[in-house]
Structure 1
Amino acid sequence: MGVYTATALISVVVVLALELLWWRTGILTTWRYWLAMAIVLGFQVPVDGWLTKLSDPIVLYAEGDMTGVRAPWDIPIEDFAFGFGMVTLAMALWVRESRRETA
């Protein structure tokens, strides 16, 4: 397993563990969260696709550090894992902090 793949998977596992075992904000069970994720994907796919297209890439990856699986438009699947982790972390922290302020 490449470094980029391992880091992407670790980011997802860590964020999910924090949310499910410690913070327990419940965001993963809300329609708002999944709507936000759909909106993020709606922007991530065209932008990431443009940045990573194999025909003329702006961002280059070391192929040995990844799975090599790309979809759609040449987007490395690891980018979706990082996006999920980053957005979920930000949203969970936002909800957690807002609850602490009102308590």
Structure 2
Amino acid sequence: MTGLGYTLPSVLAVIAVCAWELAYLRTGLFRKPAYWISMAIVVGFQIPVDGWLTKLSAPIVLYAPEHTSGLRFPWDIPVEDFLFGFALVTAVLLLWERRTAKEEA
């Protein structure tokens, strides 16, 4: 079962975080330019660090091929790393937004 070990959980994490925002939290985070700028900054730092850790020529972090989709870009970064990164950073920012809104109310 290719991809179930890392691909499926990363896709489910993105779906869960987006559903959490859209169906329950409703912070409006996805409509804020500051959120998208923050995500661009995160990806800007993630690419060189993750690229160095996962480069196929001399990997520090190894992934079992049967647990990933096999899609890697740029610099051999597994696409799943970007999905988990999106879910993690977005979940933290959603919690921040929710707490800030409660404190202001």
TM-score normalised by length of structure 1: 0.98
| Contiguous gaps of at least 5 residues in structure 2 | none
1:17 equivalent in structure 2: 19
Q: What do you get for the CA RMSD once the two structures are aligned?
A: 0.6
**Matched residues in 2 for 1:29 and 1:63: separation?**
36
May I ask how many residue pairs the two structures share in their alignment?
103
- C-alpha distance in structure 2 between counterparts of 1:95 and 1:2, whole Å: 32
Report SS of the residue matched to 1:19.
helix
- What is the aligned partner in structure 1 of residue 6 from structure 2? 4
CA distance in 1, matches of 2:19, 2:52: 32
Which amino acid in the other structure matches residue 61 of structure 2? V
Structure 1 segments unaligned to the other structure (5+ residues): none
- Alpha-carbon deviation of 1:50? 0.2
Cα distance in 1, alignment partners of residues 4 and 49 from structure 2: 24
Deviations 1:21-69, CA, capped at 9 Å, x for gaps: 0000001011000000000010000000000000000001111000011
Match of 2:92 in 1: 90
SS across alignment from 1:3: coil
Q: Deviation at 1:2?
A: 2.2
Identity %: 53
